[in-house]
A = this chain, B = another copy of it.
Amino acid sequence: MNVFVIGIGLIGGSLVLDIKNEYQNATIYGIDNSEEHLNKALALNIIDKKATYKDLDIADIVIISIPVDVSLHVIPKVLDGVHDNCLVLDVGSTKELVCKSVENHSKRRNFLAAHPIAGTEFSGPTAAIRNLYKGKTNIICEVEKTAFKLQEKALEIFSKLGMRIRYMDPKSHDKHIAYVSHLSHISSFMLGKTVIDKEKNERDIFDMAGSGFASTVRLAKSSPAMWTPIFEQNKENVIETLEEYIQNLQHFKLLLAENKFDAIYAEMENTNHIKQILNGIQEVKLQ
């Protein structure tokens, strides 16, 4: 089984590490713009061979794990190059535009749009880890548009890697993921910025920062190259979440200014039941 991975970073690299472990007959081919990444991935045994787009005719599976703006151009090109039984799998964080970009492609049935909800704040091939996807949710969009045999092939892999599958239309995916993922990243980046801006002239002030601060700004270490196109593609939804978030912060500030501490207590108490919601979500530890 020839598995190609285009973009060998945290997401793609971790996927093929597990696939290689589960499928003894898998040969992993890597395609990446960065020669350095390719060499590192080879050295780390994440891939078996370097490859180019010209080699795609021998692929049985192609995993596309690159920034979502680049995917829009790469996916149709990949579909052009693969044989009729090849599964082309996109694993990006936005789904509406990517599904649109292939809707009229003659090989649409070779394509499956997925979003495994897993990751860390690190990037590049050295960030790839085993078992990243174990117990994680994988959202599949427009499953009915993928050939049945290729659906089966994909589901077998996802199952072996330990993922839970949810089906969703691309529009709903992008709307909800803005709340439970994209907004978290912006809140984290802007929190980091606020503190860095304020404290840049204060030496040693970060000695005062504890694990709570580390936890809330962890995502501010994420890759701008990966996240800028995600925010661009999901702009309308992200702006909506930001407006609601800002409104809630302004309301909290007003309660403070007006000394309405009973209301502040109630706001926090009402949000405390996030405990139940978070049950089952594993937090990734700082490394």
Contact = CB atoms under 8 A, between A and B. Distances in A.
A245 to B, nearest CB: 5
B196 A277 contact: yes
A191 B274 CA distance: 10
A232 interface: yes
Contacts of A277: 196, 206, 209
Given A249-B249, A252-B242, A286-B281, A208 B192 contact: no
Nearest to A251: B190
Contact of A245 (B191, B213, B232): B191
A164 B208 CA distance: 10
B274 A194 contact: no
A136 B275 CA distance: 26
Q: What does DSSP make chain A's interface, helix, strand, loop or mixed?
A: helix
A8 interface: no
A127 to B, nearest CB: 13
A267 B193 CA distance: 8
Nearest to A195: B179
A272 interface: yes
Interface string A218-235: 111110110111011001
A2 interface: no
Copies of the chain in the assembly: 2
Nearest to A243: B253
A104 interface: no
Contact of A215 (B139, B193, B216, B265): B216
Nearest to A255: B231
B183 A224 contact: no
Nearest to A275: B221
B176 A199 contact: yes
Interface in A75-122: 117-121
A52 interface: no
Contact of A274 (B180, B217, B235, B274): B217
Given A211-B281, A216-B219, 12 more contacts: A183-B191, A184-B213, A189-B268, A214-B281, A217-B278, A220-B268, A220-B274, A224-B272, A232-B259, A235-B257, A242-B253, A278-B286
List 10 tightest A-B contacts by C-beta distance, closest first: A224-B268, A283-B286, A117-B210, A180-B209, A184-B216, A214-B281, A192-B274, A190-B248, A211-B284, A192-B271
9 contacts: A180-B208, A180-B213, A187-B249, A206-B281, A214-B282, A231-B256, A246-B246, A249-B249, A285-B285
